[in-house]
Amino acid sequence: MSNVDLKTMVRLTGKSRLFFSLIVLAGTITHAQSAPRAILESRFLKETQTNQQQLTGKVLDSNGKPIAGVTITVKGTAKSTQSDASGNFTLDAKAGQVLVATSIGYKTKEAFVEDSSVSIQLEADQSQLDEVVVVGYGTQRLKEVTSSVAHVSADQFRQSGARNPLDLIQGKVAGLQVSRSGSNPNSGVATQLRGAISVTGSASPLFVIDGIPGGNPDLLQQDDIESVDVLKDGSGAAIYGTSANAGVILITTKRGKPGKSVFNYSNYFRKEFVYNRPDFLTPQEFRDKIASGELKQPDFGHSTDFFEDLVNKDNFSQNHNLSLSGGNESTTYRGSVNFRNLEGIAKENSRKEYTVRASINQKGLNDRLNVLMNIATNTNNANLLGGGGWESEATKNPTLSNFNDDGSYRYDRTSTNEFARLFTETSYRKQQTSSLDGKADLTIIEGLKASVFGSVQRNSYIDGSYRALNSEASMEDEDYPGGGYASKSNLLNERYAFEPTLQYNTTLAEKHSITALAGYSYRYEKDEGQSADNRGFINDRFHEDNLSEGQALRDGRANMDSYKNDNTLIAFFGRVNYTYSDKYMAQFILRREGSSKFGANNKWGSFPAVSVGWNISNEDFMQDVDFINNLKLRAGYGETGNTGFSNNASRLTLGGGGKYLYPDGAYRETYGPDRNPNPNLRWETKKETNIGVDFTLFSNKLSGSIDVFQRKTVDLLDTYTTPQPPYIRENVYSNVGTLSSKGIELALSYRAIERDNFKWNMDFTASTLKNVMDSYSNDIFTVKYKEFGDIGGAGALGNAFTTYEGHRIGEFFGKRFAGFDADGKWLFYNRNGEAVRNDQINNSRDDLNASDLSVIGNAVPKYYLSWTNNFSYKNFDLRVFMRGKFDYDILNTTALSYGNKVWSGNLLRDAFTKYKDINDTYMYSDYYLESGSHLKIDEVTLGYRFKLKNDSWVNNLRAYMTVQNLATISGYSGNDPDLVLDTGLGNEVNGQRLGIDSRGPYPNTRSLLFGVNFSF
């Protein structure tokens, strides 16, 4: 009986086996006791081995080589192990179960268990190398790219609510600097790629949006963007000629895909809080300083936090995007609507936007014809009144009030009541931006495709402002006191592009791959606008909507202006790509371009480029190098241009000289030359060499690129002083001078951990740069140096930067602090190292051998770093994004102006501690230069993806929370060092200047954002 019972027990499982086993053991105990112990143990061991065996296995790659570190899991269980250095592993598993093998850099593989051993062969995951990046007039696989291109996909974008597409990629592209002055929703971004490249020409990269050259980023919402590609070097950007000196940023929007219709909805809600406000005395501290005699200022009896009165504590921003997409193999479509309402931390400072976007893709002629059409429009209403006045309010005597005793606003002629201005004035912009583009591709024969692309962009806005009768500006107007002021202006910008191309692809002898592109480009741009203002209104009924009612117009003292200009650019271009056996690659580009902006003698220019690549890892001698999965060497040279200057800069233009009384008794306008002509005016040219390496290592776990570049911009555009005669006017716009830069860029991605329930990967970028003004003179014009960076404020301190030929961009030039004398007067070092009073300092810039001034710092960061960590655990995901700038200086003008007790208003607390020894006037020296080096925990996002039932009407649902500007690690004592401009040469960009921490910046904020994404 025992034999039969044991066989039966083997066939049973789970609880049945346990129950049956107890019966058998209870009923046959005597038989079990009398049976030989060895026989019984043998039978139970046999049963165990039949159900749970010790499985041995080996993991190999496609070439039969063992793979170490592969995770092998029994599907549906928690049992797992890893392969050793020889690819071997052991695991408890029984026949019929399934093993799942996963490893970074390889595709997941499932294997069925049939007996006690198994061999698993993994296929390398080439998805990264096969990834498609956008280049000029087409796409390329990443492994075929020979120029320096950075690709940022939507899943890598920042998640803190972008105002501009560049906000999405800040810190994501090595060598690309994106700077904002703060969180003002109406502010722009300053961009710079690989250093300063121009003095007066455009320093902004060319935007190409879905093929539209010069596309308008205002039309884009973050949920509509698929990817961003940056052409960083001249060998890739040369295809765009004179528009590409500052690099090219190509933005691809999302498209519909064949399949069932999909709706996607996403939103976010954001709240901002003031972070790191200037450290001025409180009203009580100010009053205590007066009482102690440390301050000799009046106490007006009030306690007012003027700075806080400008803060919008009720700010609440939101964004909503709804899209629908779908289609079939012949037709795909996508449409989206977006509403965004951004409220700043300042009162009367907001931006409300509505965007509609639609695209349709249709195939025909047996799929030989493909037609794509896009249309987008954006309407925004911006409240431009608030956002300023922070310096004025922070530095007022805090014992004053915004109001008189009778409740009316308090005005004085020494400052502006910024609080009252918010309620007695208006300033707005109503803007409409639209674009329409279409592209048709026709396959003529196999490998030969003709394409034609056309686009129209239209940007228009109306600006209006009004100052009420009770406003400070109206009441203090000397000509029309107590009369209102109104102004209105409008602008219309239209851009047209037409670009037909012909492309041919072929492969010869299975090893020679050739792609040739030829095309023609036509672009036309037109700007026109007008403005008018009037004063002396007797009531506030019409604001700016009835300008003719103001008294100034009747008196002939109102203002009116209008303008219109245009320019045309045409080009012929070609590109040839050649690949041999997936090992050796070459690219050749030539663009021949003409522009109406250039002088009569230089209407046309040529922009060549060549780049080569070598896929070293595809060579036979690399087959045994196991730790290298892919290794590619690139080298390229290219030339690009810059036409970012005014339309008539090369021409003789006439201007009004005033109205004069003629002998016939009539007043007539006179005209005369207001610009010297320059028929030799041409484009700036940037010549750039780039050498790079792309790699993936350690079973595709680590990937990245290293680029070394050197670029030189020649024929710099600037205004130069001219002798009279022979010139008519005192200056001329001409090409003189050279700027250069060189640097190293590093981008790394590392898949640190990949488990079923936990993953950790990181991205890291770093760059270093040296930017030099090589020369600024030629045989006709001689300029030893250029001054930049107006310090502003009290003291008329001039410019912070003096850049000499052969010196680096951003050099602070001034006096060297040597201490204070017994009376608290400034002491500075002269050229002999002696500490002397300021009146003994030689301030010459023309004779450096006699001057006591010297280079005292540099405002351009030497190193940039960013580090993104992405974690996921089951349904949770966490992203921590950090970035920093290192080894540079900032001029703290807030301390310069308000750390000195000579100021008659409120003061920094540091005026009585750190700067207490000063008993002298304002001075610019290295005393106020501080290290700007900092590391910012810029963004922390925690998300959760909900598990949904198969029959749920929602396909996926994710909620997330983001904290932006969590912390800044820095020794700098002023405002947020990250918001100090780090681009340009020191000239003004969006109200900022390189390296100068302005005295009244828009407040730094920390924001908390909640968002939800789902599709159905």
What are 598-628's pLDDT values in tens digits? 888 989 999 999 999 999 999 989 888 889 9
Give the pLDDT score at 98: 87
CA-to-CA distance for 580 and 617, rounded, in angstroms? 14
Q: Which residue has the tokens 């700036």?
A: 684
| pLDDT in the model for residue 82 | 78
pLDDT value, residue 25: 34
Between 614 and 27, the higher pLDDT residue: 614
3-state secondary structure of 470: coil
pLDDT recorded at residue 677 = 87
- Which position has the higher pLDDT, 159 or 319? 319
Residue 410 pLDDT: 96
DSSP labels, 162-212: -SSHHHHTTTTSTTEEEE-SSS-TT---EEEESS---SSS--SPEEEETTE
Q: What is the pLDDT of residues 492-526, one digit of tens each?
A: 999 999 999 999 999 998 899 999 999 999 999 99
| Block residue for tokens 């996921």 | 872
pLDDT band at 569 (very low <50, low <70, confident <90, very high): very high
Distances (CA, A) of 715 to 709, 738, 774, 913: 20, 6, 12, 50
Q: How far apart are CA 913 and CA 898, in angstroms?
A: 13
Confidence of residue 1 (pLDDT cuts 50, 70, 90): very low
Q: Token pair for residue 45?
A: 């061991």
Identify which of 25, 268, 287, 234 has the alpha carbon closest to the alpha carbon of residue 163: 268
Of residues 443, 459, 224, 277, the one with CA closest to residue 976: 277
Rounded to an integer, what distance in angstroms lies between the CA atom of residue 758 and that of residue 871? Answer: 7
**Cβ contacts of 542 within 8 Å, gap of 6 or more:** 486, 549
Confidence tier at 104 by pLDDT (50, 70, 90): low
Q: What are the DSSP calls for 695-751, one per residue?
A: EEETTTTEEEEEEEEEEEEES-EEEEE--TTTSSSSEEEEE--EEEEEEEEEEEEEE
Under the banding of pLDDT at 50, 70 and 90, the label for residue 128 is low
The pLDDT-based confidence of 772 (bands split at 50, 70, 90) is: very high
φ/ψ bin of 355: left (φ > 0), alpha (ψ from -120 to 50), beta (otherwise): beta
Cα–Cα distance measured from residue 193 to residue 202, given in angstroms and rounded to the nearest whole number: 12
- Residue for token digits 């006699």? 850
The string of DSSP codes covering 591-616 is EEEEETTS-TT--EEEEEEEEEEEEG
Answer whether residue 155 shows pLDDT above 60: yes
The pLDDT assigned to 42 comes to 41
Residue pair 791/797 in contact by the 8 Å Cβ criterion:
yes
pLDDT higher than threshold 80 for residue 314: yes
> Span 556-561, mean pLDDT?
92
C-alpha–C-alpha distance, residues 578 and 563, integer Å:
49
Over residues 361-366, mean pLDDT: 94
What is the full DSSP assignment across 917-956? T--S----BGGGEEE--EEEEEEEEEEEEPP--TT-S-SE
Alpha helices in 783-835 (DSSP H): none
User: What separation, in Å, do the N-terminal and C-terminal C-alpha atoms of the chain show?
Assistant: 62
pLDDT the model gives residue 26? 38
- Please report the pLDDT score of residue 631 as a whole number: 95
pLDDT at 995: 95
Residue 15: pLDDT above 60?
no
At 73 the pLDDT is 85
Token pair for 50? 């039949």
Contact 420, 468 (CB under 8 A): no
* pTM of the predicted model as reported, rounded to 2 decimal places: 0.85
- Taking residues 86-95, report their average pLDDT: 84
Q: What is the pLDDT of residue 139?
A: 87
The residue assigned the tokens 């639609």 is 358
Burial class (CB in 10 A: 0-12, 13-18, 19+), 850: exposed
Sheet of strand 835-837: strand arrangement: 816-820, 826-829, 835-837
- Residue-wise pLDDT for 699-731, tens only, equals 889 999 999 999 999 999 888 888 778 878 888
Q: What is the 3-state secondary structure (H, E, C) of 370-432?
A: EEEEEEEEEEEEEECCCCCCHHHHHCCCCCCCCECCCCCECCECCECCHHHHHHHEEEEEEEE
Which residue in 416, 283, 395 sits closest to 903, CA to CA?
Answer: 395
Burial of 743 (0-12, 13-18, 19+ CB in 10 A): buried
Beta bridge partner(s), residue 340: 319, 353
Kindly report the CA angle at 441 between 435 and 445, in degrees rounded to 5?
170
pLDDT confidence bin for 202, thresholds 50/70/90:
confident
pLDDT score of 125 more than 80: no
For residue 83, the model assigns a pLDDT of 83
Q: pLDDT grade, residue 4 (50/70/90)?
A: very low
Grouping H, G, I as helix, E, B as strand and the rest as coil, residue 39 is: helix
* Banded model confidence at residue 373, pLDDT cuts 50, 70, 90: very high
Average pLDDT over the chain reads 89
Which of 212-221, 303-312, 868-877 is predicted least confidently? 212-221
Q: How many whole angstroms separate alpha carbon 956 and alpha carbon 264?
A: 9
Question: Cα–Cα distance between 858 and 613 in angstroms, integer?
Answer: 37
Q: For the chain, give percent helix, strand, coil, nearest 5.
A: 15, 50, 35
Q: What is the mean pLDDT of residues 443-472?
A: 96
Residue 671: what pLDDT? Answer: 84
pLDDT of residue 939: 95
* Average pLDDT value for residue range 528-541: 95
**Which has the higher per-residue pLDDT, 131 or 361?**
361
Phi and psi, residue 218, nearest 5°: -65, -20
Calpha distance 217→215 (Å, rounded): 6
Q: How far apart are the C-alpha atoms of 832 and 821, rounded to whole Å?
A: 19
Q: At what angle do helices 14-27 and 2-11 cross, to 10 degrees?
A: 170
Chain segment 186-201, per-residue pLDDT in tens: 888 888 999 999 988 8
Compute the average pLDDT of residues 327-343: 95
Q: Are 298 and 397 in contact (CB under 8 A)?
A: yes
**How many angstroms separate the CA atoms of 321 and 223, rounded?**
7
Peptide linkage before 726 cis (omega within 30 of 0): yes
The total number of residues shown for the chain amounts to 1016
**pLDDT band at 484; cut points 50, 70, 90:** very high
For the cut 90, the answer to whether the pLDDT of residue 103 exceeds it is no
Confidence band of 584 (pLDDT split at 50, 70, 90): very high
Residue 795 has pLDDT above 80, yes or no: no
Over range 543-553, report the average pLDDT.
Answer: 94
Q: pLDDT tens digits for 222-249?
A: 899 999 999 999 999 999 998 898 899 9
27 has pLDDT over 60: no
> DSSP letter at 6?
H
**With pLDDT > 90 as the criterion, what percentage of the chain qualifies?**
65
Contacts of 590 (CB under 8 A, 6+ apart): 573, 574, 606, 607, 608, 609
